[in-house]
Amino acid sequence: MTPETAPEVPHYVRDVVDRLDVLGGHPNPSLGDVVEAFGPASFLPLLLVPALLVVSPLSGIPLFSSICGLTIALIAGQMLARRDHVWLPGFLMRRRVKGERLHWAMVRLRRMADWLDGQTRGRLGLLVSPPFVIVPELTCVLCGLAMPFLELVPFSSSLLGATVTLITVGFLSRDGLFVLAGYILLGLAAWVPVLVAGQLVE
């Protein structure tokens, strides 16, 4: 893919949702199709995609949260390494979802996407600027790595996905307040396994 033919990089959450919805018109789009649709240099949109998907109703599919978590960890890790394009292993690139399910999920995410886009401002820019940007990037890596281990804990993967979503929106819009909100949500997400374990002990 040459620079002349590379897809335009989306700058809003709604743009990402709409582009995924276009893929929902295909019978069984793969993760490889998603990377091609956004371009391998589009780190932030590609990080936002699995985060949004794990917040969507698709998270109920067995092992779906684990796949999204691994994808998040790999993309965020490559952001930390300052790579110039995304690389994902073949077993992830070949993962597919039914197009009708993807479309259904995107329809339900549109309102949230519009709300997020409407709230962004240029605030707390220090949190999304070097060298402090390493902290939210590492947070996304850790959230992604945790998802496979929390597959069976209710709501935990969705909360971690929401954390990554907020942080990525903060990156896209240069709004550090969203990054801060992601940290707060991560704190809440950390309590979910503790509460579930407490219920099991009782």
- Helix H, strand E, coil C: the string for the chain is CCCCCCCCCCCCHHHHHHHHHHHCCCCCCEHHHHHHHHCCCCHHHHHHHHHHHHHCHHHHCCCHHHHHHHHHHHHHHHHHCCCCCCCCCHHHHCCECCHHHHHHHHHHHHHHHHHHHHHCCCCCHHHHCCCCCHHHHHHHHHHHHHHHHHCCCCCHHHHHHHHHHHHHHHHHHCCHHHHHHHHHHHHHHHHHHHHHHHHHHC
2 part of a folded domain: no
Domain count across the chain: 1
More confident residue, 196 or 44: 44
Q: For residue 58, how far is the Cα from the chain centroid?
A: 13
Q: Flag whether 8 is in a domain.
A: no
In-domain check, residue 41: yes
Residue range 86-104: average pLDDT? Answer: 94
Which pLDDT does position 20 carry in this prediction? 95
Average pLDDT, the chain: 90
Residue 25 domain-assigned? yes
Question: Domain for residue 4, yes or no?
Answer: no
- Domain range for 27: 13-201
Q: Which pLDDT belongs to residue 7? A: 76
Residue 6 lies inside a defined structural domain of this protein: no
105-157 tens-digit pLDDT: 999 999 999 999 999 999 999 999 999 999 999 999 999 999 998 888 878 88
**Within a domain: residue 56?**
yes
Domain presence at residue 137: yes
**Quick one: average pLDDT of 64-68?**
94
Of 38-42, 104-108, 196-200, the range with the lowest mean pLDDT is 196-200
